[in-house]
Amino acid sequence: GENVEQHPSTLSVQEGDSAVIKCTYSDSASNYFPWYKQELGKRPQLIIDIRSNVGEKKDQRIAVTLNKTAKHFSLHITETQPEDSAVYFCAASRGGGYQKVTFGIGTKLQVIP
């Protein structure tokens, strides 16, 4: 089955700096890679996703890159703000009627004001 590894497990950055979280996956058939943000005591919420036919996707201060050959994808947050503090989860899944999503262990991001 799919195995998703995520690092670092914790990350502290100064407000205004960039943060990068990296994930690798094992199943070459995976083609959908969402990222979820979970604030303390709240539910995970999708913040951005990327499909295997795209190498990069950007949404304001958040961007995700995908390298299918190396089987890794990354989340980039620029100009971090205190409200970016949360746990971020990467995930990978196949398409085509099979929707088992495998999550990474999560990265706890702390943005220091």
Partner 1 sequence: ETGVTQTPRHLVMGMTNKKSLKCEQHLGHNAMYWYKQSAKKPLELMFVYNFKEQTENNSVPSRFSPECPNSSHLFLHLHTLQPEDSALYLCASSQDLRGGETQYFGPGTRLLVL
Positions in the binding site for partner 1 (CB under 8 A): 4, 31-32, 34, 36, 42-46, 49, 51, 89, 93-106
Cα distances (angstroms) measured from residue 31 to each of 6, 26, 27, 55, 80: 17, 12, 9, 12, 28
CB 18 within 8 A of CB 26: no
Cα(39)–Cα(31) distance, rounded to whole angstroms? 26
Output the smallest distance, CB 102 to partner 1, in A: 8
C-beta of 52 vs 78, nearer to partner 1: 52
Minimum distance of partner 1 from residue 71's CB (angstroms) = 17
Cα-based distances in Å from 89 to 15, 44, 96: 21, 8, 23
* Minimal distance, residue 7 CB to partner 1, in Å: 13
Of 40 and 113, nearer to partner 1 (C-beta) is 40
Minimum CB separation from partner 1 for residue 62, in Å? 15
Q: Which residue lies nearer to partner 1 by CB, 73 or 89?
A: 89
Tell me whether residue 47 or residue 111 sits nearer to partner 1 (CB atom).
47
Cα–Cα distance between 88 and 82 in angstroms, integer? 14
Instruction: Determine how many CB atoms are found less than 10 A away from the CB of residue 93.
Output: 20
